[in-house]
A and B are shown apart, each in its own frame.
Chain A
Amino acid sequence: MQNDDTNQRLQSYSRRLFLQRASLLTGMVALGGGSYLFNPKGAWAAAPIKVGIATDLTGPISWGGIPNANVAKMVIEEINDHGGLLGRPVQMILEDTATNEQLAVTRVRKLVTQDKVDVVFGGITSSMRNAIKDTIVNRGRTLYIYPQLYEGLECTKYLYCTGPTPAQQCDTFIPWLIKNGGKKFYLPSADYVWPHVLNKYARKVIEANGGEVVGEEYFPVDHNEYSATVNKIMSSGVNVVFNTTIPPGVAAFFKQLYEAGFGKKGGRLACVYYDENALNITPAHEIEGLASCLDYFKAVNDPFGNKVQEKYTKLYGTKNPMTAGSASTGMWRGINLWAESVKAAKSVKREEVAAALDKAKLADGVGGGCEVVPGTWHVKMNMYTAVAKNGKYEIVEKSKGMVDPRECVKA
């Protein structure tokens, strides 16, 4: 009798367990690993507007992807707190592209075909953007907004770039470097598309301002031994090292440059993706005097930026800060520009939103306001030159008004 009882209990237990597991499994299959759905809080009568965020939450680029997703979530929650868009709530569907282009295409395809999102934000590296843009823009017929600083030359209809371009990062920065460093430049770089194209532009600006490029050298992306280059830099009297090697290799490079005494002998180190996040990569004394040029630094100390920064830190802590070099400010700008355009167009249809986006403006924002340059899919914004001192940045120059991206301009 008792035996039967136990059996029965066991059976019902396992049935319940089975049901639990089955529902969990169905949920996992439905969403796929690395998919996250963020439903708007509260009760809404209207169907949600769907926003797809595709970014690298895992893999080597996750240092940028994690804060990107955080910023997106924060901004979308803000929009919902203010009554959503067109009376509809905004739902965010986050996909982990895992720093893997093949996987990313599948994830993005899910966003546009299965979830039928109204817009996709994301991608950090240029290779990622190139991998997913066709799936979103052409086959998916969806609007795509790319938030990271990049090498330019992306002139695709319905693809808006909200991060700085080479013109924005070089036009004011290089003259400053020549004035505050010297005329002899060395360009050590990682061997992929961004440094190659950026260097071409930088070289033009250096030469136009009376400077000279002593050397331009490319390393495998994960290279970690730079003595030969450091020796060339030290023996050829270089004033400015305009670096585009990237993590992890950049840590070894800056260390070797420091140990060879480059900074001590008056050399100026420059790196246009270095932000607050990157300060962890190298000990402060090794990059004393490093100059960077971005659309935002905490040190800009603008009331608007401070408020956003404060909220972000309260929500997500300081481990993955909101910075400019890792596409976070571009993401902030992108979502807000898009939201304004949806309001102006009174629609989420691609054609209508794109038309509104083409002349979209933000009066204020992180690091100041910004506006889309009509017909170019790029954004005008303020640029700041900052120098690292004791592990913090000090702003040394602000652009006079917004700087033109100078992309996709018909000659």
Chain B
Amino acid sequence: MSSIPFVFDVLAYGAIFVLVVLGLGVIASMMGIFNFAHGEFVLLGAYTVYTLGQQGLPVWAGMIAAPFAVALVGLVLERTVIRRFYAAPIVAMLGTYAIALALREGVRMLLGGQFYSVIAPMVGSYSLGDVSISKWRAAVIGITVLVMIASYLLLTRTRFGLQMRAALENPALARASGISTRRVYAATFTLGAALAGLAGGLMVPIYALNADMGVPFLIKSFLAVMLGGMGSFEGSILGAAFVGATSAALPWVIKPVVADMLVFIIAIAIVKFRPDGLLSMRRS
């Protein structure tokens, strides 16, 4: 019986990480851009839910609106800023970092630096004998699985997914075949932003809304993408599941402060031995 909370915890935290990394993974693997503003896209999703809630809309409506709102922000940023950086990944990192700072401090100003709670659409927990399972965390696990499947199908089974992969593997040839890589890149970035927005919207009832809520996830999310291997979408999901699950599991056996470090050490060790990522899918 005592193993149930452990398993649930590992699943729930793993799911949250996968949700956060999905968007980052799409942008990193399909476009080669390390988006340092990803945590702030997550924040904007959370902020959307909160703001709409203040207008009297139900939380679930905010959660549906969040990916669209953040997608719009992502699209505008891609058209105005990000597209200038495709040739220079390092500059792109700095550029997105600057965007992150501006977004974070902007939201902080709007919130007056305060923390605000958002009540989940499902409050409380299911009881299994002595063990309580949080309803909303259980729902997040379910939604994550659905979003994961949908993203996978979109990338592998649709025409748009094919164009996306073509634009990544050989942009020149893609353009020659009549694919507007400009438009595909814009769409990819928008999709990544939308996924971040969704993650933020679903996460905000678990954590409190505050300007720094995206920050703790950012570095571990990059670790997940690195672990999964650049250029592989499935890899980043696997990496995220790994990072999320170890982050949740380690504090059960060792001190949380040590666990936090150990996650990085384990991940770096894996990257050392499998530099191309867990799946080792080399792409040229």
- Looking at the complex, which of B108-116, B143-151, B191-199 is the stretch in contact with chain A? B108-116
Q: Is B56 an interface residue (CB 8 A)?
A: no
- A282 contacts B117, CB within 8 Å? yes
- Looking at the complex, which of B24-32, B202-210, B226-234 is the stretch in contact with chain A? B202-210
- B115 contacts A252, CB within 8 Å? no
- A63 contacts B113, CB within 8 Å? yes
Q: Is A113 an interface residue (CB 8 A)?
A: no
Q: Which residues of B contact A224 (CB under 8 A)?
A: 207, 216
- B113 contacts A259, CB within 8 Å? no
Query: How many angstroms between the C-alpha atoms of A221 and B18 in the bound complex?
Result: 23
Q: Which of A65, A191, A247 contacts B210 (CB 8 A)?
A: A247
Q: Which residues of B contact A251 (CB under 8 A)?
A: 115, 117, 207-208
- A248 contacts B251, CB within 8 Å? no
Q: Which of B134, B211, B256 contacts A220 (CB 8 A)?
A: B256
Q: Which of B113, B210, B213, B248 contacts A66 (CB 8 A)?
A: B113
Given contacts A63-B114, A251-B117, A320-B114, contact A281 B208 (CB under 8 A): yes
Q: Which of B122-172 contact A (CB under 8 A)?
A: 123-125, 127, 132, 134, 137
Q: Which of B132, B208, B213, B252 contacts A259 (CB 8 A)?
A: B132
Q: Which residues of A contact B132 (CB under 8 A)?
A: 259-261
- B252 contacts A228, CB within 8 Å? yes
- A259 contacts B257, CB within 8 Å? no
Q: Which residues of B contact A191 (CB under 8 A)?
A: 257
- A247 contacts B115, CB within 8 Å? yes
Q: Is B78 an interface residue (CB 8 A)?
A: no
Query: How many angstroms between the C-alpha atoms of A286 and B210 in the bound complex?
Result: 18
- A259 contacts B210, CB within 8 Å? no
Q: Is B13 an interface residue (CB 8 A)?
A: yes
Q: Which residues of B contact A227 (CB under 8 A)?
A: 5-6, 8-9, 12-13, 248, 251-252
Q: 29 A-B Cβ contacts within 8 A? A: A58-B113, A60-B113, A60-B211, A62-B108, A62-B113, A63-B115, A66-B113, A218-B256, A218-B257, A219-B256, A219-B257, A223-B256, A223-B260, A225-B248, A231-B2, A231-B252, A247-B208, A248-B213, A252-B206, A255-B206, A259-B125, A259-B134, A277-B114, A280-B116, A281-B208, A285-B123, A286-B117, A320-B112, A320-B114
Residues of A at under 8 Å CB distance from B? 58-66, 191, 217-220, 222-225, 227-229, 231, 235, 247-248, 251-252, 255-256, 259-261, 277-278, 280-283, 285-286, 319-320
